[in-house]
Amino acid sequence: MRTLLMGSLIAFIASVLLVADAHAIRGGCGLWRSFVPSDCCGVDMQYQLACSGGGSSCFTQIGTCELGCPFVQSVGGCPQARRTPAGPLYPAKLELAAESVPVDAARQGTASACGIGLKKLEDWLKRPSSRVR
Amino acid sequence: MAVLKTLRAAVVASSGFLLAVVFVLPLSAPCHAQKRGSAASKSASQPSVLPRVLQPTSTKLLSVPRFSYSGVPLSDDSGNLYFRPAADNDQLAIFKLSPQDEGNSKMFEVPSGTAEADYFDDYCVTPSGTLYILAQDVKRKFHVLSFDSDGQVKHNERLETPDYALVIDFAVFENGTILATGYYERDAPGPIHGKSYAALFDQSGQLLRDMTRRFSLEDASSEPNGPLTHISIRPGKDGNLYLLGSSSVLVVSPGGEVVQGLKFVKPDPESVAIDLEVSQGLLLIELGDKPAPGKRVNPRYLVLDASSGKRYGYYRASDEIKGMLGHFSSKEGLTFVTSEKGYVKLVTAAMN
């Protein structure tokens, strides 16, 4: 009888432990998005792109061009991206529409192909007259 | 005889285990989650439910020129939108677009040369509109920067993360507590290599609680260029953070307690959970087709009651609406960011 009680008790404790740490977050990628198919950045972007590739301490992120098309931009300290003359902004290519977008493979085009959003907005903020149309 | 006794003990112990599971599970998860769970198993063989098509109910053409940006736009409860504008360098800047009063739009810029803020990693916004930027220094340490109302850097706090921890996503509670999630780098020593990491920090970056055992992230790929799994973390006006899983949403309190676990049933079982929005009593889960070359995401929006998990609605945008979801409001509906004639245009679609 004692053996039976012990067995049940151990099984009960084991089951409690099993459910106590049962919160598994298996994330969807927060950056998958659908993009408007159009000829943008010189590349026909009719594909979806997944979120990121990864190095040891950096990863790539999908951005949205002015025309609604995707591009790849490095996030974090990406030495391989920073070394390229075009800077860390690359229009993405069709064949990169897989689950990862390696930075090296994304070295296409130039930074200006997608438009430099920051500069454009800084100019807009500096010119109050341009805000009234 | 001894063998028989052992066998009987094992059989009864197994029964005890099953009983324990039956009784303990309902205590460890909300009732609706269980109901949803059982419904989920049934839904695998059920046909997909078609989403209701959202039509534009209002549009607003702004004077802001269209621009390129990284990642997805975020928003606060007032409907302000936050973007990371694309730049040709590592400039750390976030653009706050105030659609109600464009004159209040501003750039939150981290001046180049700011100590220990060398690379941009992520940003987040609280429901009240406080902006935080996650940056990395050359020694691979992570810093959280906050700003004053003039857009100047107010605080720059280093997170007390362990060696080799790579923070991928973060969010900040209204009380300033920081939740950071990610992985141990692929070049980390054996036992922790590629394992997930999660922790809570106070406003000064001091470790409050290691959360890795409270919820587990999918392990990082061991491939050098393999994908890293992001999770969508969004703050709620109730002071909690909402974490999106593949078929569940975890609600985490500022103290690090998992206060609720909502399971949801995807109307199309083949779809994947992409992103999450929270607005006063409602959760919006963005679903999309599984990524594959040649396929588009085709986003759909599953809206749930945040307290019960009950389905409120299931939608997709009409073909007329193009652009990214920028803001979700339980009152106004879904607002998409798009452009027209070279300017930013916001298209709102009510849910009813």
Mean pLDDT of B286-295: 66
Rounded to whole angstroms, the Cα distance separating A91 from A97 reads 12
* Tokens (6 digits) for B59: 């549009």
Under a CB-based contact definition with an 8 Å cutoff, are residues B207 and B179 in contact? no
Mean pLDDT of B45-51: 70
The predicted structure's pLDDT at residue B90: 64
Question: Would you call B213 and A25 a contact, using CB atoms and an 8 Å cutoff?
Answer: no
Mean pLDDT of B94-118: 89
Q: Is A26 on the interface with B (CB under 8 A)?
A: yes
Under a CB-based contact definition with an 8 Å cutoff, are residues A34 and B288 in contact? yes
In terms of pLDDT, which residue wins out, B6 or B324? B324
Q: Is B256 exposed, middle or buried (0-12, 13-18, 19+ CB in 10 A)?
A: middle
Nearest to B274 by CA among B296, B305, B253, B259: B296
Rounded to whole angstroms, the Cα distance separating A2 from B327 reads 61
- Residue numbers in B near A118 (CB within 8 A): 67, 85-87, 91, 93, 95, 107
Q: Is B260 on the interface with A (CB under 8 A)?
A: no
ipTM for this model: 0.75
The CB density around residue B59, as the number of other CB atoms within 10 Å, is: 15
Nearest-CB residue to B68 (from A59, A115, A125):
A115
pLDDT digits (tens, 9 = 90+) for A99-111: 333 333 333 333 3
Out of A118-122, B16-20, B55-59, B208-212, least confident range: B16-20
Q: Closest chain A residue to B227 measured between Cα atoms?
A: A53
Nearest to B58 by CA among B341, B329, B342: B329
In terms of pLDDT, which residue wins out, B195 or A112? B195
Q: Is the pLDDT of residue B348 over 50?
A: yes
For residue A104, CA distances in Å to A60, A85, A89, A108, B87 come to: 10, 13, 12, 9, 19
Q: Is A111 helix (H, G, I), strand (E, B) or coil?
A: helix
Q: Is the pLDDT of residue A77 over 50?
A: yes
- Residue numbers in B near A12 (CB within 8 A): 16-17, 19-20
Q: Is the pLDDT of residue A22 over 60?
A: no
Q: Closest chain B residue to A20 measured between Cα atoms?
A: B28
- Residue numbers in B near A14 (CB within 8 A): 17
- Residue numbers in A near B246 (CB within 8 A): 26-28
When computed from its CA atoms, the radius of gyration of chain A, rounded to whole angstroms, is: 24
Question: Would you call A11 and B20 a contact, using CB atoms and an 8 Å cutoff?
Answer: yes
- Residue numbers in B near A23 (CB within 8 A): 214-216, 250, 258, 261
The predicted structure's pLDDT at residue A129: 59
* Tokens (6 digits) for B338: 């798009």
Nearest to B290 by CA among B299, B282, B281: B299
Parallel, antiparallel or unpaired: strands B196-201 and B207-210: antiparallel
Under a CB-based contact definition with an 8 Å cutoff, are residues A110 and A86 in contact? yes
The predicted structure's pLDDT at residue B128: 94
Q: Is B1 on the interface with A (CB under 8 A)?
A: no
Mean pLDDT of B129-154: 89
The predicted structure's pLDDT at residue B167: 85
* Tokens (6 digits) for B208: 């409050």
Angle between helices A2-20 and B2-28 (to 10 degrees): 30
Q: Is A117 on the interface with B (CB under 8 A)?
A: yes
Question: Would you call A15 and B20 a contact, using CB atoms and an 8 Å cutoff?
Answer: yes
DSSP 8-state code for residue A122: H
Rounded to whole angstroms, the Cα distance separating A87 from B178 reads 31
- Residue numbers in B near A70 (CB within 8 A): none
Rounded to whole angstroms, the Cα distance separating A26 from B245 reads 5
- Residue numbers in A near B184 (CB within 8 A): none
In terms of pLDDT, which residue wins out, B165 or B56? B56
Nearest-CB residue to A122 (from B107, B186, B288):
B107
**How many residue contacts between A and B have a Cβ separation below 8 Å?**
288
Find the helix or strand (DSSP H, E) in which B37 lies. helix B31-43
Distance from CA of B20 to the nearest CA of A (A): 5
Cβ partners under 8 Å of residue B104, min gap 6: B98
Question: Would you call A27 and B299 a contact, using CB atoms and an 8 Å cutoff?
Answer: no
Question: Would you call A30 and B66 a contact, using CB atoms and an 8 Å cutoff?
Answer: no
The CB density around residue B239, as the number of other CB atoms within 10 Å, is: 14
pLDDT digits (tens, 9 = 90+) for B189-242: 877 877 788 999 999 999 999 998 776 665 554 444 444 566 789 999 999 999
Out of A23-32, B64-73, B233-242, least confident range: A23-32
Mean pLDDT of B106-119: 84
The predicted structure's pLDDT at residue B138: 76
- Residue numbers in A near B341 (CB within 8 A): none
Interface probe for B, chosen from A33, A40, A83 (most Cβ of B below 10 Å), is: A33
Q: Is the pLDDT of residue A57 over 80?
A: no
Q: Is the pLDDT of residue A117 over 60?
A: yes
Q: Residues of A numbered 47-106 whose beta carbons fall under 8 angstroms of chain B's beta carbons: which are they? A: 47-59, 61-68, 71, 73, 75-78, 82, 87-89, 95, 97-100, 102-104
Q: Residue B84: which pLDDT band, with cuts at 50, 70 and 90?
A: confident
Question: CA B18, B19, B25: angle at the middle one, nearest 5?
Answer: 90
Q: Report if pTM > 0.90.
A: no
Q: Closest chain A residue to B224 measured between Cα atoms?
A: A55
